[in-house]
Structure 1
Amino acid sequence: MKTDLPASAIREQMSLLRKSPAFAGSERLIELLSYVVEETLNGRAGELKEAVIGNAVYQRDPPYDPRIDSTVRVEARRLRRKLEEHSRIYGQSDPITIMIPTGTYVPAFVIRSGERDASPLHQGPDRNIFRNGPGAVIAILPFRAVSGDVATQAFADIITDELIFTFGSEPGLNILSRATTFAYKDKQPSIRDLAAELGVDAVIQGTVREHADIIRVTLEVSDHRGVVVTSDRFEGSIDQHADLPERIATTFVSRHRFDTSKLRARLVKPGPAAVQAHGQLYRARQLLDRQVPESLRESLSIFSKIAEDTADYARGHSGIADCYCDMFRIGMVDAATARSFARPAVEKALEIDPQSAEALTALGVVQAWLERDWPAAETSFNAAMTYGYHARTARVFGTYLAARGREDESERLFAEARRIEPFSQQQDIAEALSRFQSRNFSKLSETVSALTLRNAPMEALFYLALGAHFAGNPEFARHCLQPLGTMMMTHPLLVFANAELEAWLGSPDRAAALLKTGSPKASFFAHSTLACAIGDGEAALRYLHLALRNRELSTVWIRMDRRFDVIRNFDRFRALTGEARIASALIA
């Protein structure tokens, strides 16, 4: 590969990357990047194969074998993410962007000079990122089969077709035809030139790899300059081959849905800054999906930056509200703190876009979880559902209905959420939690598979294990102990998860020791269920009283939670649950 840029300019850009906070503590990634850059500058780009890189950079002995060693592929994915992070956050004034396009190890060098390449998130003093126009224009390039066999290539073509069809069904999106984009099959066009030639706002491309009966699909979205604004990866078993492309396409489109009413009505089109903001928002939603403290904090930071930098985009503000509601859900902040940030954020989102399904859903969550105003929450959820299909709307509305004892309605909404977004950790958690609390243990275990367990979020895995124990399947519950035990739990509801499960399975010593010392990292509710697991009714009631007094969200389940059966006949427990009913009735 040749480049018209002087080698000195590219090496200066490498010096900037070495100093970038994005690469702090990532010396090995810098070493990998330096190697592929220097090999390219020295005219040896054609030799940049996985095995060559593995031996040169990672010095394997015996020689690197890509059939059994995935180090280069894994590190290359990490490197792409770090380069994207630097470009998006720290490198907005860099003269050159260095990228490693998906499907190759050969770097690309892009000049970032001129007005068209200016990279602040917003443009102009009004901070508006949308322009008058008939919606967004997107090109979906043919996906490439990395494995090279005929079946994998056929799968790649099918997933390309599914993406074209599914994106084409979205209001406000204009998708280039298959005939147009398949003219680029088996080619590696310059995204920058292609975007200019076809007049598109964004380009989607990806790769398909099959290994050990697992199909992995990597997707990336680039802006008009060829800069990757977001990427994602999905996997499924070979047994799911028939419907996997549709499920991946449906999930990817759901996550990339522009929840902007004017764009859906084809009154505006995204400017370059809107594509960047949308890419950042996708990343924030990916982090929110994990539902652990570290990812929620990072997600909140991204949503806050989007809200600060854009004037006509409601999703940064609704994202802030969602973060604080979820932080309250897992016990990171109290109700008053969460409401003080979430309520103004959702009001601002609705001021910008009163028809935003995402903002109306956030309002419903604030009303249900933070204000316990059940009728208002249900009104907001129903209003959100009138403005299009949105997985989070169906998911949180379904959880709300499960907590209100309306299981059949809840399951219908869960099915709808799963149809809209088949791959979702938040959905895994919502279904596991709600089905456990509803004591629907048979439904809880229906979809469990080896792949599900491997990818299950820890919170979902915990409720799957508890459900198995109470359903009389201790073998499966014990099977879950190992992954739960290897995690360093910072989730306030899960700090005691492994010890609690051990106690339910007949080994209470560790749980008793932890209960004796307590933990400031754990919620009062988690202390109470730990006490139930070892049969300490007095401690269970004491901590449950504190959980209710602090309005921990988990207390909405106390009349249903199977773990409290050990104290359910205690007069004090009945008094506590009676107080909870009276409080809810007064608020409603």
Structure 2
Amino acid sequence: MAAKDSNQLPPRSGASPPPEEAIRQQLGKILISPQFVGSLNLQNFLRFIVEKTLAGGGAEIKGYTVATQVLGRKADFDPNLDPIVRIMAGRLRRALEQYYQVQGQSDAVIIDVPRGAYVPVFCSSSRQEDAGEVTLKILKEQIWALPPGPSVAVMPLRNLTGDRKQEFFADGLAEEITNELARYQDLRVIAFQSTLYWKGKEHDVREVGRDLNVRFLVEGSIRKAARTVKIAINVIDTLNGLRLWGEQYHRELRADSLIALQEEIALQVAARIGSLYGIIPQTLSRESRKKPPDSLKTYEAFLHFYHHVTILSPQTFAETLKVLERAVTRDPDSGLAWSLLAFVYSQSYSLQLAPLESPLEQSLVAAQKGAALEPENQLARVALANVYFFRNDRELFLSEAETALALNPNAPTPIGFLGWLLALLGDWERGLTILEKGMALNPHFPGWFRMAPFFYYYLQDSCEEAYQEALAFRMPQLFWDPLLRAAVLGRLGREGEGAQALAELLHLKPDFPTGARFLISCYAKFPYLVEGLLDGLRLVGLKT
């Protein structure tokens, strides 16, 4: 059947669209690919918009149409309340991108769904061009259409062992690093198959960055000596070619543990690079803090939040609140922005960094919006669990915490935070085990992680151990820092040092004596722990 309106098949770069028969054949190939065969919703979504466009009905493809005719929503569907179409469209675009980077590298017809609409476009790929150049062209078109955010690609690792049989190990490790980085949902990670174009070729990292539209490259090499392997990994900034981070890993090379070795190294590398306090967020955070707040893009607002939670001062709170409220106004469909705003509102409640009206209620509303917009975003689920923690809703907290942990059990800061909350709720063994895993994966964790082990030791009357945790807190702008030191010093009988710590506490929080019990109970969930901390503070002079 001929298309009713040729404008419904918009070509790229002035080229003629492929014949309808070729488009339908390509659609059939895509629908049986691994990226689609496991999802009936994705198959139906793509089939519907392609057939509708070929039939001349491209103008009728709207979010409401897709929701009611493809995704089973009722006639009263409201896209402002239910983000299902936006979520599925994002998954569809990612599935198409992955298909053309793997199975469809040499396909003659390209089906794409540009961001901002649901109408597909079709174009032909010239068979006369060099296959590698065609692949690179396709990759550029797709990658430049990806959403903004920190971007990274893992280059093929150089095999310097002199043994060609080790190529599979080098490529497998690079792909495993790519997969682990992709689990960090605020990173834009280019598929490893995209960088294979440069394998064995001399390249300028700045040119590769421009070609792939990525800011950061992960490069490295493997060397072999007897039964050991040396793996070198570096992170390069493609703006200037500078090496930002590097690490070397020496491991025994055994045939029966190659996959486990790849997984171990990949997990550690991804955590040091992409986690909340990894090298990429740290680099971008330093840059964003030099820009005026009004000029910040949504992701840069996220970076302000990441910086704030390492300090937790009234000043950084006020700046971050302002930046995130602007972010959700500018980008109301950003689930992550709403989720981070929920964290900030909850800090107004639990830390009283600045007075807000009904901060816990505002936090719940923002966290629920964030989780509805991005239900598979780990930080969105963590934000909701955090609100339920402060609302003392143990059942809902545990449900959200388990969901969040399952989304990425190797993301250092989210799992560390959840372990921290679990421990504060009294699940000491499991909570501290998860917390310790998060701390081990990335040593740049926030000092307030130390509160949970401090509470554990304080309850055991292991005051020397508790004091060491208090010293490691190291957040002098936050009143909990001197509070922990003062309480345990009182228990240790070191009243002079404890009185000095109490003076620091009262300097940071002059009204602490009147609100002490509430502030402590926000995190210390057991009355006997609250009383124990207050007793320690009274021993060094606190009057409540």
Q: TM-score, normalised by structure 2?
A: 0.51
Task: For 1:249-328, list aligned pairs within 5 A.
Answer: 251=271, 282-283=281-282, 302-306=287-291, 308=293, 310=295, 313-320=297-304, 323=307, 327-328=311-312
2:523 alignment counterpart: 557
Unaligned runs of 5+ in 2: 1-141, 349-355, 539-544
One-letter identity of the residue aligned with 1:514: E
How many Å separate the matches in 2 of 1:460 and 1:431?
Answer: 10
How many Å separate the matches in 2 of 1:148 and 1:209?
Answer: 10
Q: CA RMSD in A?
A: 5.4
Unaligned runs of 5+ in 1: 1-130, 257-278, 286-298, 528-541, 573-588
2:329 alignment counterpart: 351
Alignment pair present for 1:464 and 2:484: no
How many Å separate the matches in 2 of 1:326 and 1:441?
Answer: 24
How many Å separate the matches in 1 of 2:343 and 2:413?
Answer: 15
Contact 2:454 / 2:469 at 8 angstroms: preserved in 1?
Answer: no
Contact 1:325 / 1:369 at 8 angstroms: preserved in 2?
Answer: no
Deviation at 1:546, TM superposition (A): 4.6
2:380 alignment counterpart: 393
1:175 alignment counterpart: 190
| Cα distance per residue 1:123-178 (max 9 Å; x no partner) | xxxxxxxx995227965312357999999987653331124446779799683653
Change in 2 beyond 3 A, CA 1:350/1:482 = closer
- SS of 1:204's equivalent in the other structure is strand
| Cα distance per residue 1:93-129 (max 9 Å; x no partner) | xxxxxxxxxxxxxxxxxxxxxxxxxxxxxxxxxxxxx
Max Rg structure = 2
Aligned match for 1:509, one of 474, 478, 493: 493
How many Å separate the matches in 2 of 1:177 and 1:501?
Answer: 51
One-letter identity of the residue aligned with 2:514: H
Change in 2 beyond 3 A, CA 1:237/1:478 = farther
1:376 alignment counterpart: 362
Alignment pair present for 1:220 and 2:209: no
Task: For 1:104-183, list aligned pairs within 5 A.
Answer: 134-135=145-146, 139-144=153-158, 156-165=170-179, 175=190, 178=193, 181-182=195-196
Deviation at 1:420, TM superposition (A): 4.8
Change in 2 beyond 3 A, CA 1:450/1:470 = same
Change in 2 beyond 3 A, CA 1:315/1:450 = closer
2:112 alignment counterpart: none
How many Å separate the matches in 1 of 2:404 and 2:186?
Answer: 19
Task: For 1:490-501, list aligned pairs within 5 A.
Answer: 490=476, 492=478, 493-495=480-482, 497=484, 500-501=487-488
How many Å separate the matches in 1 of 2:506 and 2:160?
Answer: 46
Deviation at 1:349, TM superposition (A): 0.9
1:204 alignment counterpart: 217
How many Å separate the matches in 2 of 1:252 and 1:176?
Answer: 19
1:409 alignment counterpart: 396
How many Å separate the matches in 1 of 2:405 and 2:231?
Answer: 20
Contact 2:420 / 2:431 at 8 angstroms: preserved in 1?
Answer: no
Aligned match for 1:444, one of 411, 418, 431: 431
One-letter identity of the residue aligned with 1:160: A
Q: Which has the higher contact order (CA 8 A, sep 6+)?
A: 1
- SS of 1:361's equivalent in the other structure is helix
1:545 alignment counterpart: 514
| Cα distance per residue 1:175-209 (max 9 Å; x no partner) | 3653x63464466532234456x554445223378
How many Å separate the matches in 2 of 1:374 and 1:166?
Answer: 34
| Cα distance per residue 1:514-571 (max 9 Å; x no partner) | 33334554368999xxxxxxxxxxxxxx9542547xx85x5523553652244899xx
One-letter identity of the residue aligned with 1:140: V
Change in 2 beyond 3 A, CA 1:242/1:317 = closer
How many Å separate the matches in 1 of 2:332 and 2:262?
Answer: 40
How many Å separate the matches in 2 of 1:422 and 1:217?
Answer: 25
Contact 1:208 / 1:217 at 8 angstroms: preserved in 2?
Answer: yes
Deviation at 1:230, TM superposition (A): 5.9
| Cα distance per residue 1:268-298 (max 9 Å; x no partner) | xxxxxxxxxxx9972267xxxxxxxxxxxxx
Deviation at 1:353, TM superposition (A): 1.4
- SS of 1:509's equivalent in the other structure is coil
Contact 2:410 / 2:438 at 8 angstroms: preserved in 1?
Answer: no
Deviation at 1:360, TM superposition (A): 0.7
How many Å separate the matches in 2 of 1:352 and 1:360?
Answer: 12
Alignment pair present for 1:363 and 2:341: yes
Deviation at 1:344, TM superposition (A): 3.0
- SS of 1:522's equivalent in the other structure is helix
Q: TM-score, normalised by structure 1?
A: 0.48
One-letter identity of the residue aligned with 2:379: R
Change in 2 beyond 3 A, CA 1:159/1:380 = farther
How many Å separate the matches in 2 of 1:466 and 1:520?
Answer: 22
